[in-house]
Structure 1
Amino acid sequence: MSGLFIRRPLATLMLAIGLTIIGIVAYFQLPVASLPNVSVATIQVTAQLPGADAQTNASAVATPLERQFGQIPGLTQMTSSSAPSFVQIALQFGPSVSVQQASLQVQAAIAAAQGNLPATLPSPPTFRVINPAQTPVLILGLTSKTLPLTTVDDYAESILFERLSHLPGVGLITIGGQQQPAMRIEVDPAQLSAHGLTLEDMRTALSTSTIDAATGELRGSRQTYGITTNGQLQSKSDFANIVVAYRNGAPIRLSDVGAVAIGPASTQLAGWFNRDPAIILNVIPSAGANVVDTVDRIKAELPQLEAALPHSVHVAVVSDRTTTIRASINDVLFTLILTILLVVGTIFLFLREPRATLIPGVAVALSIIGTFAVMLVCNYSLDNLSLMALSIAVGFVVDDAVVMIENIMRHLEEGMTPLRAALKGAGEIGFTILAISISLVAVFIPLLAMGGLVGRMFQEFAITVVVAILLSVVVSLTLTPMMCAKLLKQHDTHTAHGRLDLALEKALDRLTALYDRGLAIVLRHQRTTLAVLVGTIALTMTLYVMIPKGFFPTQDTGLVAGITEASPDISTDGLAQRQQRLVDVILHDPAVASVASYIGPGPSSPSPSEGRMFIALKPVDRRGPHGSGPEVIERLDKAVAGISGIRLYLQASQDITIGARVSKSQYQFTLVDVDPAELGQWATRATDAFRQIPELDSVTSDAGAGGPQLMVHIDRDAAARLGISAADIDTSLYDAFGERPAAKVFTALNQYDVILEVAPQFRADPGALDSVYLRSSGGTAVSLSQVATVSNAKAPLVINHQGGFPSTTISFNLKPGASIGTAVDAVNKVRAQLHMPTTVQTSFQGNAAAFQTALAGQGLLILAALVTIYLILGMLYESAIHPLTILSTLPSAGLGALLTLEMVGMPLDVIGIIGILLLIGIVKKNGIMLVDFAIEQERAGASPLDAIRAACLTRFRPILMTTLCAMLGGVPLMLGTGAGAEIRQPLGYAIVGGLAVSQVLTLYTTPVVYLYLDRLRRRFTRSGPISSPIPA
């Protein structure tokens, strides 16, 4: 194949130029992201029933919906949280279910459940295709020194929210500390009763006094008239003048029995930007969106939107995740360029010929650039994994060109012309290049078949490397020999060499001679060498079992998310004060740039006694000493520990979101039981037990303590005598204390609730229930105390379900130095010691569950890679023995990788496993180069001993050169300290450590294994034909 391209240099050059142009064009069209998009369809369903407690919402709203959702095919996880006035259900589907399919199914399920939902539900449940556990990519804070927050919120919702929500890539915008304006009708129950009226009379008057409905038109023969009324009330005075009823011929107006105020629709919500009251907008991208482009669109739109706001309203960017994403991508691009320079420099040191160095440099650049075109076709992005794959691929793709050039230069040194040397060298080495590359591609076949979210994420990594390798094969068999034929010169033995050239040549000669002497000793002590290999295998297996296991490196994204938790009976004002005390302490940390915080129930935290906090960190180089994400979190934990009455749970925001449950800590362990009482008992025991595990930190449960509740016991006999029903009592309580929407005010830009309630002084303590009056069948006023008694009780503020059954999730972080593998083992051990009944089902969720899945497949993944390589090498060599010789190079690489990770204190996580798989592909090429040459020597009549020794000495330099190139591909990853370095470092350490150890051991163990297996082959075959590879 190479001969055709060598003889047609112009056509070959045109093909290379065409590939380069296509790759460059593709590069500028690739989206930019932190990690590959592997999200599955996740839908959040929300419903609001103002005034309902958690138990009512769980049974009357969540359960009917869950029954319908549970019948949807492809649903993999369903969780719900029911809190006062609020229900949130998260639905997660399998990878085979598209977002469109999931949306249609959820919409149909909501419609089917509608008949079983409470009639008092103000509006049907709504759903959004979004993961509630996902971190916002952009957080905005709106503040004003002069305008009330209700006005600021109105502008935020009417202008910013509406415009930004429609931008491409925006999936959801949540509002923290929402202060949506409402017309609040504050009734004096004593005055109402004195006029012989009830709260239900007031609600009826409100609902019928303000209306915005169609009124038709007049159509005459000559003219048409539209008809409208002033039925829609707008101002406080309009509402104050509503006639509630007539008594003794005189109107009883609303102002006679109460007052009208404009205030927030919910008094449980509040938000701050740093120390200033604010409205917080959290922008969450849609599934598959280009995050960087999405944020760029928003920022481009902001100046126009700010111009539409009053000058006193200020919009601040609290956090922009794309800042660290861009920095991380730029750092990886720098790493890629540095790797190419290091590799090309290494080749120059070995070849000491500028023209010969140029050729592999072109091969590397063309293979990498061409890969961009395939990435665009596959809808991949420029992210940490794909660029990391290209950085590592540099060491792979250069191998093919180096092997080709080294062989051609050997023939040039023998006196051949460049054309003949290129033709002969390419013909000889073509099979070796194919064998190296095809067996290297085989390493990634199991990775492509890897399931789960982790498998989908690393498919992009694997395919990127595979494409680069395949392109390098094509380039090395076409462009590289053609360039050798045109650029290299015939060897001249009389050419003078410079001092550096001579010094390098002497150094390489000494190194080769040293290796020769060592090889001679090893070949005389083959049993000892084989024992060393066996010991290496045993030590590698032992280390693999003993090394701590991890899941995925914790990213330093520059954003820390926090959940605050206070006593269940805390007031909104008390929670706000404690939240601000936390913010004051946090803002004093030198690494913190700004803080957005808010309290009250919402999409991500339904409990009224909890709050959220997003802490934006300064760029890494401006944080000062001990400024890494984990160090900042540890420091903040200690700083806020002394603040009483509130607890802050912090975790670094991550780009990988697994599961849809929002928890206070990073890892989750869930208990499910049909009996809520039994569940609560065992959840408490498990939480207490987990707090004693040394590896765990910030252990907490989402069950929480019960909040105080007043239980109204209806005396049904007394109520019946007076003609009062239980429904009348519930309705009156709802009217008084439920912040019940009684009507709506419609405007051109927005609509606002009219909320009915008793005045604040009549809802401050349990005695307020005595102010509630009902109307008897005789028309007289009856106080609540005449038909009911009140007792104190406790009730949960939040009720959680998983799969439709009551559940409690215990979440935890890891102590510094602990690994998730060790923590999972400790949790499982404690769980077994608790002897929970079989009715309590337990499981890890989120990242912990993904770790278990990944851990279970690690050994199988490595085994599958080995088997795949063995089968392919067996087919290539038509031998069952030679592949074993090649695979014998691998244990030392695994040993080096595991030792290095252990020495630097890193667990063996998914990135480390990928590094070991890459090592399998890198190291086995040394065995291929030795075995391939030895086979040719045996076919020429040499003995196995002479053949393998000649192979070792002849291939020593190219093996040394290609291994150094591969190591240099890992060095920038290993030593990187920029944004995103925590993802790349485990891969760099694994590759550099593995190659360093394997380079020393395999050059000695491989020839011994070759000789042992050759004797074994001859023992089982009477005639000993030499296995010959399939011609290239």
Structure 2
Amino acid sequence: MHLLTRLAVYQRWITILITAALIGVSIFATLRLKQEMIPDIELPMTTVIAVYPGASPDEIMNEVAKPIDEVVSGTSGLEMVTSTSLQNMAVVFAEYQYGTDMDKVNAAIERGLERVVFPAGMPAVVPQTDEKNPQVYPLNMNMIPVVIFTLTGDLEPNELNEIANTMVIPELKGVKGVFSVSTEGGQEKVLIGPVAAEMNARGISVAQIVAAVKANEYGSLEDIEETPLNSTTVVGDVASVAIGAAPGTAVTRTNGDPSVAIVVMKYPEANTVSVANEVTDKAKEIRENLEAQGYDGVQLLNVFDQSEYVESSIRELANEAVVGGILAVLVIFVFLLTVRGSLIIAISIPLSILIGFLVMSIWGLTINLFTLGAMGIAVGRIVDDSIVMLEVIYRRLHKGESLKTATLEGSREIAMPIASATFATVAIFLPLAFVGGIVGELFVPFALTITFALLASLLVSLTVVPALAGLLVPKKIRAEGENAWYQRLYTPALKWALGHRAIAVAVALILFVGSLFLVPIIGTSFIPSMGDPMMVVEVEMPLGTDTLTTSETVRRVEGIIEEVDSPNVGLYYSTVGTSSSFIGGMSAVMGGSTGTNTATVEIILSKGSDPDREAAALQERIDGAGIAPEDGQGGIVVKAMDSGMGGFSSNDFVAYIKSEAYADVLRAADELTASLAEVDGLSDIKADVAITLPTPVIEIDQSKLAFHVSQGLDTIQFMTELTGMMNGAGTGATLDGRELFVSGVTQSATSAEELGGLIINNGSLSYPIKLAHVADAVIADQPTSIKRIDQQRAATVTAVITEKDIGAATVAAQEKIDEVEESNPKTAIRIGGVAEEMEETFANMGIAIMVAIGISFAIVVISFRSLLNAVIIMVSLPLAAIGALLGLLIAGYPLGASAMMGMLMLVGIVLTNAIVLLALVDQLRKSGMSTYEALVQGGRTRIRPILMTALTTMIALVPLAVGLQGESVLIASELAIVVLGGLFSSTLLTLLVIPVLYSLTDRIRRRAPAKAGSSVPSAV
């Protein structure tokens, strides 16, 4: 290590030229780094979505979901597979062990799906997106849409949809880096709804309506109603005719006006900010084109732009890091009282950061909230090595040495110690390999970034700082005073502590034990919210409510939102019903509402607003308006949320229930729902098993069907007409661009008699065939969705955790789960969601911290060759916990994953002060001083470098901790609070408690004097 400094001093200008070149390369690499919201990691999860228009949940389960389940279950590394069968759609969600090669898994699933024979009525591509059906969707943390637009204006929804598909989507798909562009809403049809009773009374079949409508052209809904079916019957006699959302699609509005949502996704390897900016530029061209084409009333509005949050967060973090760096330099100036020396430190900070970014680029990391937060946290620490190098140069100059001698001999004195300290700090991050789950994936890039910055700072301190010192530091400086202000403050306190050792130790012990009692008060959490504030209004109407009726209720909600007099409430976007799209499918997987009786209204809030307060105010208005469904059948709930993490919310509680018998699942779900209602901190508790509707159940009697086939029934024609009767059929005819669609008639039957009396075929034979002639047909309550976990019938109980202390709410919920599981021995209940991730993360982080402490202890023992000194030095670790926990309490943050990461960092940071102090004390004792004299003299000598390194680290973290630039980067803020508080308490107490403990163990040390002190680290 000393050789590097020697080369830098003797080849000063070459060192400076190499540094300049390195700066240029690093700036170039930094500018080319991808900018993301979160690290670009692949989750060990995948989703298969299959669309089967018109199919019931039971049909979906048996004919679509089960075959997909079997394919997915045959892949390696699988932990759990969940299938959700909905009307029109199957969603199969698979979770794998971390470390599983998901590319191979997804390829195996796609090969398996190619061998499955799906129902004939299931399309090969999804109508709305032209994507393959079924489609495999690998999940990536950066699968958050890059940009979401809404196309709205004074046109009909189908006209907006046409404009979106012809003038917007093709243009956006051409942008480099765009993976897909999909739409939501605007897909209207003219819906002809046959009424079973009227159809039976007049002997009309669905096939007759389809055939009659195909043969005509229409100018109005009335024309369709007057279409003759026979000499005495027209369409209006047996069916309703109205314009509505196409089956399997949702109704969307923006600020109360009809709209079409346009969702833009990027390729995983593409740069979020670059893609978003290019998409935004393309949107400007599209707007100009719309205006040129005469669509003045049509607006292409930007609902969500991920790049805005990413850029603002990166800007805030960067600004806070710069402010922290400036404050750190000012601290150096206060201690050294030299502009030139402070300038050297000012140069070393950005240089270390730039080199760190260069290594990040080589390693393939991205700039995101975690890596940039890590760099902001590192700002205070990366100056330590340069401070120690500069301080030893100045100290030797004060003693009268020449500048070159001071630099070279100073390097010889401290090169190995600072290298050992840096390597020890870096080694602290090795245990992160034990931290699995999403937190491990997120914080490994964080740890790598800090590692690169620290290693860069070590290189800079050993080369650039000595080279610059030769240029900027004066050749000679006046001798240093023996009693600086910080020594005058510290020396009396140290002497008092050494004279009252029992009191000093007792105070430290009381503070530590007392800090542990803060943990229940602070509470525990997971990952803090990320993203801009927003609200979501969830509307649930009584079962069976159609889209039109639900939409009218949503309009009343929209009216209330319009009346809200708050500058924080901006654009709002309504979605009525469930779409058979990726978005609709993932909503079902994440526990969102599904069906024509459900809707959501997403409300964008201004940055810095309080979503909880705004949500409470809006909820009060809605409740006062009395528009929620009566008798407890549904409801309207307003939730505060944020736009980050792509739906991986940290306040969702999930419990999975599975059993061989569905009756057992139902019973356990009912009991668990009731039990969780007693848990404080849980709200909006739902079970997805209680949703049932009277549904036609039809089973073909093959013997009866065979008889009619023997009479000349065309089997293919029969099955086609049966499918149309059940699921509806397109006609090819249009009205103002909307296709005429004849809905299935079976849903309108109110009794088994009406259902059985429906005519299927009255053309190929001399007599009409009714449904009862070929099938057993009844109307029974059936679930609107069917869930299976690991190929067993299952249910999901979800809740929103409203308490800050997520851990306490989870523990209470687990107790209820244990009680329910005990009373239902045939049922397995597994807690999931944030609770599962928290449990795994805290356990693994605890192991990581213990391993880090073990690594530190080993390094200290090897360095001092003294077990006793190592034990004394390790006492500084619990002293750090005092300030860390107190800091969280004062800041109002719970103990979460980022705070635990701060605890891990503290292990490497706080030991340095104790090592620096005791290394010199041992050397002074070896030179003949008494223990008391060595402790006082060592403390007086080491107070300056200890305060300089500690204060620069702490003050550099202040901007991050208090969020000077905003509130969006809570991950860095929580971590900074922990490190700042922990370093503050450990530094103050280390300067007093460590000498006291050293003094108390002096008698033990004298029994084995020579060996323990014969080889100690060089004094820093």
Q: Take 2:75 and 2:745, find their aligned partners in 1: how far apart are those partners?
A: 46
Q: Find the counterpart in structure 2 of residue 57 from structure 1.
A: 60
Q: CA deviation at 1:549?
A: 1.3
Q: Aligned to 1:656, which of 640, 645, 649? A: 645
Q: Find the counterpart in structure 2 of residue 924 from structure 1.
A: 911
Greater mean deviation of Cα atoms: 346-355 or 838-847: 838-847
- Contact map agreement 1:673 1:805 (CA 8 A) in 2: yes
| Alignment CA distance shift 1:833-1:92 (3 Å) | closer
Q: Find the counterpart in structure 2 of residue 959 from structure 1.
A: 946
- Contact map agreement 2:46 2:95 (CA 8 A) in 1: yes
Q: Find the counterpart in structure 2 of residue 275 from structure 1.
A: 256
Superposed, 1:621-660 pairs within 5 Å as 627-642=609-624, 643-645=627-629, 646-648=635-637, 650-657=639-646
- Contact map agreement 2:54 2:247 (CA 8 A) in 1: no
SS in 1 for 2:474: coil
Greater mean deviation of Cα atoms: 95-104 or 326-335: 95-104
Q: Find the counterpart in structure 2 of residue 477 from structure 1.
A: 462
Greater mean deviation of Cα atoms: 933-942 or 709-718: 709-718
Greater mean deviation of Cα atoms: 725-734 or 346-355: 725-734
Return the letter of the residue paired with 1:964.
Answer: L
Q: Find the counterpart in structure 2 of residue 735 from structure 1.
A: 724
Q: Find the counterpart in structure 1 of residue 554 from structure 2.
A: 579
Matching of residue 350 in structure 1 with residue 335 in structure 2? yes
Q: Take 1:525 and 1:194, find their aligned partners in 2: how far apart are those partners?
A: 103
Q: Aligned to 1:799, which of 766, 769, 786? A: 786
Q: Deviations over 1:586-628 (max 9, x none)?
A: 344422211111122224246323545363434325xxxxx22
Q: CA deviation at 1:429?
A: 1.9
Q: Find the counterpart in structure 1 of residue 817 from structure 2.
A: 831
SS in 2 for 1:644: coil
Q: Find the counterpart in structure 1 of residue 129 from structure 2.
A: none
Matching of residue 989 in structure 1 with residue 973 in structure 2? no
Q: CA deviation at 1:373?
A: 0.6
Q: Take 2:886 and 2:243, find their aligned partners in 1: how far apart are those partners?
A: 67
Q: CA deviation at 1:101?
A: 2.4
Q: Find the counterpart in structure 1 of residue 106 from structure 2.
A: 103
Matching of residue 86 in structure 1 with residue 89 in structure 2? yes
Matching of residue 421 in structure 1 with residue 403 in structure 2? no
Q: Find the counterpart in structure 1 of residue 656 from structure 2.
A: 670
| Alignment CA distance shift 1:195-1:695 (3 Å) | closer
| Alignment CA distance shift 1:763-1:494 (3 Å) | closer
Q: CA deviation at 1:873?
A: 2.6
Return the letter of the residue paired with 2:407.
Answer: A
Q: Aligned to 1:437, which of 407, 410, 422? A: 422
Q: Find the counterpart in structure 2 of residue 814 from structure 1.
A: 801
Q: Deviations over 1:978-1030 (max 9, x none)?
A: 14143333223222222222222110111122344554344356866522338
For structure 1, the 5+ residue unaligned runs are: 211-232, 496-504, 622-626, 746-750
Q: CA deviation at 1:717?
A: 9.2
Q: CA deviation at 1:560?
A: 4.0
Q: Find the counterpart in structure 2 of residue 499 from structure 1.
A: none
Greater mean deviation of Cα atoms: 451-460 or 933-942: 933-942
Greater mean deviation of Cα atoms: 18-27 or 91-100: 91-100
Matching of residue 512 in structure 1 with residue 487 in structure 2? yes
SS in 2 for 1:881: helix
Greater mean deviation of Cα atoms: 666-675 or 676-685: 666-675
Q: CA deviation at 1:473?
A: 1.1
Q: CA deviation at 1:18?
A: 1.9
Q: CA deviation at 1:393?
A: 1.2
Q: Deviations over 1:171-190 (max 9, x none)?
A: 444432241568x7788999
Q: Find the counterpart in structure 2 of residue 522 from structure 1.
A: 497
Q: Find the counterpart in structure 1 of residue 994 from structure 2.
A: 1006
Calculate the TM-score normalised by the size of structure 1. Answer: 0.85
| Alignment CA distance shift 1:654-1:455 (3 Å) | farther
SS in 2 for 1:668: strand
| Alignment CA distance shift 1:59-1:1016 (3 Å) | farther
- Contact map agreement 1:718 1:787 (CA 8 A) in 2: yes
Return the letter of the residue paired with 1:389.
Answer: A
- Contact map agreement 1:418 1:486 (CA 8 A) in 2: no
Superposed, 1:883-898 pairs within 5 Å as 883-898=870-885
| Alignment CA distance shift 1:912-1:715 (3 Å) | closer
SS in 2 for 1:88: strand
- Contact map agreement 2:208 2:229 (CA 8 A) in 1: no
Greater mean deviation of Cα atoms: 167-176 or 384-393: 167-176
Q: CA deviation at 1:728?
A: 9.2
Return the letter of the residue paired with 1:650.
Answer: K
Q: Take 1:436 and 1:266, find their aligned partners in 2: how far apart are those partners?
A: 66
Q: Find the counterpart in structure 1 of residue 632 from structure 2.
A: none
Q: Take 1:190 and 1:857, find their aligned partners in 2: how far apart are those partners?
A: 64
Matching of residue 152 in structure 1 with residue 148 in structure 2? no
Q: CA deviation at 1:8?
A: 1.8
Calculate the TM-score normalised by the size of structure 2. Answer: 0.86
| Alignment CA distance shift 1:97-1:332 (3 Å) | same
| Alignment CA distance shift 1:131-1:841 (3 Å) | same
Q: Find the counterpart in structure 2 of residue 868 from structure 1.
A: 855
Q: CA deviation at 1:632?
A: 2.9
Q: Aligned to 1:143, which of 136, 140, 152? A: 152
Q: Aligned to 2:452, which of 464, 467, 474? A: 467
Q: Take 2:843 and 2:521, find their aligned partners in 1: how far apart are those partners?
A: 15
Q: Find the counterpart in structure 1 of residue 354 from structure 2.
A: 369
SS in 1 for 2:33: coil
Return the letter of the residue paired with 1:160.
Answer: V
Q: Take 1:72 and 1:494, find their aligned partners in 2: how far apart are those partners?
A: 74
Greater mean deviation of Cα atoms: 768-777 or 797-806: 768-777
Greater mean deviation of Cα atoms: 398-407 or 304-313: 304-313
Q: CA deviation at 1:658?
A: 7.8
Matching of residue 298 in structure 1 with residue 279 in structure 2? yes
SS in 1 for 2:524: coil
| Alignment CA distance shift 1:9-1:259 (3 Å) | same
| Alignment CA distance shift 1:758-1:610 (3 Å) | closer
For structure 2, the 5+ residue unaligned runs are: 126-132, 589-593, 630-634
Q: Take 1:644 and 1:191, find their aligned partners in 2: how far apart are those partners?
A: 33
Q: Deviations over 1:286-333 (max 9, x none)?
A: 445432222212112223444555533432112223222222111111
Q: Take 2:744 and 2:392, find their aligned partners in 1: how far apart are those partners?
A: 92
Q: Deviations over 1:860-896 (max 9, x none)?
A: 1211111111122333334433332322212111111
Q: Find the counterpart in structure 1 of residue 74 from structure 2.
A: 71
- Contact map agreement 2:721 2:761 (CA 8 A) in 1: no
Q: Find the counterpart in structure 2 of residue 226 from structure 1.
A: none
Return the letter of the residue paired with 1:631.
Answer: R
SS in 1 for 2:42: coil
Q: Deviations over 1:466-513 (max 9, x none)?
A: 111111111111221232233222445499xxxxxxxxx99x834412
Q: Find the counterpart in structure 2 of residue 311 from structure 1.
A: 294
Q: Deviations over 1:647-683 (max 9, x none)?
A: 2353524533587xx99x7232221222212111211
Q: CA deviation at 1:528?
A: 3.7
Q: CA deviation at 1:88?
A: 1.8
- Contact map agreement 1:84 1:797 (CA 8 A) in 2: yes
SS in 2 for 1:72: coil
- Contact map agreement 2:814 2:831 (CA 8 A) in 1: no
* Percent of matched pairs sharing the same residue: 24
Q: Find the counterpart in structure 1 of residue 128 from structure 2.
A: none
Return the letter of the residue paired with 1:31.
Answer: K
Q: Deviations over 1:105-146 (max 9, x none)?
A: 1211212222xx323323373214354996534221112313
Q: Take 2:888 and 2:236, find their aligned partners in 1: how far apart are those partners?
A: 75
Q: Take 2:777 and 2:162, find their aligned partners in 1: how far apart are those partners?
A: 40
Q: Find the counterpart in structure 2 of residue 123 from structure 1.
A: 124
- Contact map agreement 2:615 2:638 (CA 8 A) in 1: no
Q: Take 1:77 and 1:321, find their aligned partners in 2: how far apart are those partners?
A: 31
| Alignment CA distance shift 1:1019-1:178 (3 Å) | farther
Q: CA deviation at 1:848?
A: 2.4
